[in-house]
Amino acid sequence: MSGLAGVTAGSSAICTCGLGNGLNYRGYDIADLALKADFEEVAYLLLVGELPNKHELKMFQRKIIAGRELPISVKNVLKSIPASSHPMDVMKTATSALGCVEPEAEDFSDQMDKITRLLGAFPSFLVYWHHWHKNGKEIDLASDEQTIAGYIVERLKEKTPLAVEVKAMNAMLTLYAEHEFNASTFANRITASTLSDIYSCMTTGIGTLKGHLHGGANEVAIKFVLGFDNVDHALKSVDELFARKEKIMGFGHRVYREVDPRSPVGFDLAAELKELETSDPKLFDIAKAIRDKVKAEKGLPDNIDFFGGLIYHYMEIERLYYTPLFIMSRAAGWAAHAFEQRANNRIIRPSSEYTGPEPRDFVALEDR
């Protein structure tokens, strides 16, 4: 079947989506997790199978915080990557570099330590490269910020984040953390099925996520919204797109037909952030009007990427960094799937339907 749509490619105890129960991580509803738990709790849940108690969470957070510092060799790699490079390539290269310096054990006995280290290191890869090439300085990766969400905002912007910014970033990390056998996760599981190391699994996921049909939809969605002066301008343009039968990014979903269960959370977060002094509330009105029109006239619900792009825009995060933020979130899901695959493994090797020529005789070069 084209794109493997409708094909069951394996079993997993990590996540359910589109099965009548919305989106659940290990049985917990996504809205509860996004609004009531820190991302570290969610990452632990995905990796271990249960929510942590206070002591377990404290130990987990300490290891993540310790993982923020980078070896000199990895910093040198980040310095050597051109400023013109795509940030996704920066993340992929830095992950490979760290894997060379701190390889995973052959028997995977330290797999939890390695992914915990990476959860700390992923934000550092981006902020170190950003400040070296964009601001011409070597940033101190140490911070008093306890959460990954707070650390990302604080180190990128070099100022104490607002509570609403930490809340929004924390929720976004949770909303994007896991989504069953999506393209990058399935690619990651294929790599894991060869019994490759966790760094290779992560770089496989990053490379797949970089594709425009997987990650990056929120970048396109916010660019679309920013192109309009007002609601009337936006609605007129949407009519023109409808007439040309063109697609609007941020709407519809391969799995969710009625509603993306992450979208209501994203909508509410954007509504909160539009009240910031630095925000333009008009953009929220434009986005809401587009959402309502597309739903009413085409029956397509918005997905998390539509208001997700607006959330990051209101937080003044560079657009090309939206998908690297996706990595910092989805890494927990990728690793959970890699662990699950390697624990009960059979190499993933599907068959294909051959559509080429029938068997034929070889023709010597002089007779062709």
Q: What is the pLDDT of residues 55-67, one digit of tens each?
A: 999 999 999 999 9
Percent over 70 (pLDDT), the chain: 96
Q: Does domain 12-162+178-210+321-343 have CATH number 1.10.580.10?
A: yes
Pairwise CA distance, residues 47 & 67, whole Å: 17
| Percent of residues in the chain assigned helix, strand, coil, to nearest 5 | 60, 5, 40
Percent of the chain with pLDDT over 90: 86
Q: Beta partners for 23? A: 17
pLDDT at 257 over 80: no
Rg of the chain, C-alpha, whole Å: 22
Which residues on neighbouring strands pair with residue 24, listed in sequence order? 16, 29
pLDDT level of residue 20 (50, 70, 90 thresholds): low
Mean pLDDT of the 244-265 span: 85
Contacts of residues 347-354 at CB distance under 8 Å and 24 or more positions apart, as own/partner, are 347/193, 347/194, 348/9, 348/10, 348/189, 348/190, 348/193, 350/9
The vertex-340 CA angle with 334 and 343, nearest 5°, equals 140
| Residue closest to 168 by CA, chosen among 155, 153, 146 | 153
Distance CA(281)–CA(293), nearest Å, equals 19
Q: How far from 308 is each of 115, 270, 299, CA to CA, in Å?
A: 26, 8, 20
Give me 70's structure tokens.
């980078």
pLDDT one-digit tens code per residue, 77-86 = 999 999 999 9
pLDDT at residue 206, as a whole number: 97
* Mean per-residue pLDDT of the chain: 94
- What is the separation of C-alpha 88 from the centre of its chain, rounded to a whole number of angstroms? 11
What backbone torsions phi and psi does residue 23 show, to the nearest 5 degrees? Answer: -130, 120
List the single range of 9-18, 78-87, 116-125, 268-277 with lowest mean pLDDT. Answer: 9-18
Give the architecture (CATH level 2) of 217-314.
Orthogonal Bundle (1.10)
Domain layout of the chain by residue ranges: 12-162+178-210+321-343, 217-314
> Are the C-beta atoms of residues 319 and 223 closer than 8 Å to each other?
yes
**CB within 8 A of 171, min separation 6: which ones?**
34, 35, 265, 269
pTM of the model: 0.94
Catalytic residue ranges: 214, 253, 305
Helices (H), 37-110: 39-48, 54-66, 72-80, 87-101
